[in-house]
A and B are shown apart, each in its own frame.
Chain A
Amino acid sequence: MENAVYVGLSQQMALKRHLDIVANNLANMSTTSFKSVSPVFEEYLQKDQPNAKISFVQDYGVYHDQSEGRIYGTNRPLDFAIAGDGFFTVRTEEGIRYTRNGNFKLDPEGFLVTSNGDFVVDEGNDTIQVDLTNPDIEVAADGTINLGTEDVLKLELVTFDNNQLLTQVGNGYYDAGRENPFPAPNAKVLQGSLESSNVNPILEMTTMIEILRAYESAQKLLDAEHELQMKAVDTLPAMN
């Protein structure tokens, strides 16, 4: 008899998590190259009842919307946006990470680094150092860096068979886990630009309203079940 309560609860748990995800999307609305996330729900069927199957709801995963955010000009020579599918490769203390946030800087020694101070690497997985007398480097669409010297460096631009398998680890970084990177054929580097987040605020706001209403209706279900039980408690002893 309490099944209705548990079904309602499973929905409320899933909805609460959904709101958490929407909240994170909206909080990161102005985060460079942030990709919006949506949960994926599935039915959880309980079949052990003799003549009825009860279906609960379970959120079993998240889906990253990998569509490209709006690319806008910043006029800053060390801002890079990637048009198309691809990631910059960054060497952090935790290992190699991937990011689409090309808001790079030069550290005091002239190395190309991210906002967190992690090294951006080239195709040979080497750090990239710039000459002070020519700090305004030029990067071509294919990632080739013109340092004004004879050295030819190329930014390591990679992609994966399945970008959904990358995990977000904060700071705009992705951890590839067991996925193997391979050179991104379609990635185009745009110097002097950044990619804004692809969060669609209108979609998020309407989703939020839907979550609230669904949550309320699940609550109605719980209330109805509760009243049913109270009635049973009241009337059943009288039938004696």
Chain B
Amino acid sequence: MRALGTAATGMLAQQLNVDVISNNIANMTTTGFKRQRAEFQDLLYQDLRRAGASSSDAGTIVPSGIQIGVGVKAASVYRITDQGGMESTGNTYDLAIQGDGFFRVLLPSGEEAYTRAGSFQISPTGEIVTQDGYSVLPSISVPQDALSVTVNSSGEVQVKIDGQVDLQTVGQLDLSIFFNEAGLQPLGENLYKESTASGAPSTGAPGSVGFGTIRQGYLESSNVNAVGEITALISAQRAYEMNSKVITTADEMMSVTNQLR
């Protein structure tokens, strides 16, 4: 019975939906996390009676035909990259990006990764690093005798050194943007890697056209909306139940047939 298989695809789709939603909820407080959404598409159709076929010798034409769909499939699980809220922390090395762009991070493997979680720290050698100790690119070292560190909105890192009147510029952070940032490959640990879907990065100074600006002392919270996720969860659950009801009905119809003497 076709309905059984069709309903099964519906249940699988809702299961995936719940998986995606639960990951969003689990990462509700993850810095820089971007929520994901599952997108579904209808599957192929079986033509039982083709529309446009002639229905008589006089050339009359079947107006609509019978097409029976065989269910649903997941088309993509894409990331929604809209801006998360700005959380004030007052921390020197907490940097949030307002607008488009990613910080560049050097992985231990030598590859480049990208992140929007700007909760950075200082390594024993004075370098600006991520929570996991990976260097932020371009590598910037803060002198040991620096009294304070300022990162301005265009990414310039300036330090105040004891005994000096002027601020000293020690480096310039840059940002990378992608055509399809939703196509970046997530690595976990708030990091993303370039993929064929994302396209090659284009790197520029914060604040220039197309690039976001940097806010020191802030972190970008996740863009997960708890209320939205819970309502999505409820409707996914109900849709799952309805599809399972189809299976029950199809099963009952088959059992009716089986009772035929």
Contact = CB atoms under 8 A, between A and B. Distances in A.
A92 to B, nearest CB: 13
A172 B183 contact: no
B170 interface: no
A108 B180 contact: yes
A207 to B, nearest CB: 10
Given A26-B239, A133-B210, A20 B179 contact: no
Interface residues on B, range: 35 or more
Centre residue among A15, A16, A223 by max chain B CB count within 10 A:
A16
B33 to A, nearest CB: 16
A103 B79 CA distance: 12
Interface stretch (B87-95, B135-143, B148-156, B243-251): B243-251
A168 B75 contact: no
Interface residues on A, range: 35 or more
B239 to A, nearest CB: 5
A215 B3 CA distance: 14
Contact of A205 (B45, B49, B245, B252): B245
Interface stretch (B121-129, B159-167, B253-261): B253-261
B116 to A, nearest CB: 16
Interface stretch (B62-70, B105-113, B213-221): B62-70
Contact of A30 (B14, B43, B252): B14
A212 B210 contact: no
A105 B199 CA distance: 12
B9 interface: yes
A37 interface: yes
Contacts of A101: 41
Contacts of A215: 253, 256
A23 B10 contact: yes
Nearest to A164: B64
A66 interface: no
Nearest to A216: B256
B69 A24 contact: yes
Contact of A168 (B42, B63, B243): B42
Interface in B229-243: 235-236, 238-239, 242-243
Given A22-B246, A133-B202, A167-B51, 20 more contacts: A20-B6, A23-B7, A24-B6, A24-B72, A27-B10, A61-B51, A61-B62, A101-B41, A105-B78, A106-B199, A108-B180, A110-B199, A115-B39, A115-B75, A134-B210, A136-B100, A165-B51, A165-B63, A170-B43, A170-B69
5 contacts: A24-B6, A37-B67, A165-B52, A169-B44, A205-B245
Closest 3 pairs between A and B when the two form their complex, measured CB to CB: A27-B10, A108-B199, A133-B210
